[in-house]
């Protein structure tokens, strides 16, 4: 909340702190995104988000559908396919960053690190980010382990119905549908826009001077939400806040 000194922060144990500037560094993965899927309304099997996925052993011998086409969806589906019968259900084809697998000694990583310094993050649509093949994922999909298919269109009990009219029993559905930043602590301040996302540019609030962010996806660069990019963003935010304090 606002305070004559700048901001007042209340902690979970009730303590209150005041400061002229605040940095919210909760990152981009604090709140699992679980979109409303009308086709799942009648489903009575197990539904979990990828945030709750731990090991393929828990699904051994089962029929599993993974929803999504990003890195998490592809990686989980391929891993599960070694233990269960798995389909990767998507609203569009899986797209990969490169034409083939990327080994650990590839020059790709050097180029990616350099590209990760460019402040082009705000220009990227998160939903359009392709997957990265670092473990033979493309080959596994091509071989049908898992098989990729269009999104199911309905459910009845533990049966899912596919676009071609076929129905089949499915034990579990894993939603690899991404995350939202966990920023509800800023809602009373009025610093969030539609969908609970911060109104910011390059990590600085556009509505509340002195408020900043670190770790948001595509905050400044394509690596802003990763260990490789968050440090550079933090230094940028610190410089801008120091300049703000001198005004």
Between the alpha carbon of residue 180 and those of residues 27, 30, 88, 107, 117, the distances in Å are: 9, 7, 22, 32, 23
Mean pLDDT of 14-21: 92
Contact yes or no for 216/224 (Cβ under 8 A): yes
Question: What are the extents of the domains in the chain?
Answer: 2-30+181-246, 31-96+131-179
> What digits encode the pLDDT tens for the residues 204-234?
999 999 999 999 988 988 888 888 889 999 9
Q: What is the pTM of this model?
A: 0.83
> What digits encode the pLDDT tens for the residues 135-174?
789 999 999 999 999 999 999 999 999 999 999 999 999 9
CATH 2.102.10.10 correct for 31-96+131-179 = no
Contact yes or no for 97/130 (Cβ under 8 A): yes
């Amino acid at each position: 909340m606002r305070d004559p000194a700048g901001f007042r922060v209340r902690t979970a144990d009730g303590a209150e702190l005041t400061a002229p500037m605040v940095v919210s560094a909760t990152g981009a993965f604090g709140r699992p995104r679980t979109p409303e899927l009308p086709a799942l309304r009648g489903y009575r099997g197990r539904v979990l988000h990828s945030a709750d996925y731990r090991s393929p052993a828990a699904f051994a011998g089962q029929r599993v559908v993974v929803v999504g086409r990003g890195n998490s969806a592809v990686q989980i589906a391929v891993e599960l396919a070694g233990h269960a019968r798995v389909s990767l259900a998507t609203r569009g084809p899986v797209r990969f960053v490169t034409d083939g697998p990327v080994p650990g000694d590839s020059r790709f990583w050097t180029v990616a690190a350099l590209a990760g310094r460019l402040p082009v993050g705000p220009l990227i649509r998160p939903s359009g980010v392709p997957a990265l093949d670092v473990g033979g994922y493309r080959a596994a999909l091509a071989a049908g382990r898992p098989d990729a298919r269009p999104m199911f269109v309905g459910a009845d009990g533990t049966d899912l119905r596919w676009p071609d009219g076929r129905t089949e029993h499915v034990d579990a559905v894993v939603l690899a549908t991404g995350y939202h930043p966990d920023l509800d602590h800023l809602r009373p301040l009025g610093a969030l826009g539609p969908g609970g996302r911060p109104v910011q540019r390059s990590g600085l609030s556009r509505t509340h001077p002195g408020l900043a962010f670190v770790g948001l996806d595509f905050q400044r660069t394509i690596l802003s939400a990763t260990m490789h990019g968050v440090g550079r963003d933090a230094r940028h935010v610190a410089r801008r806040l120091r300049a703000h304090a001198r005004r």
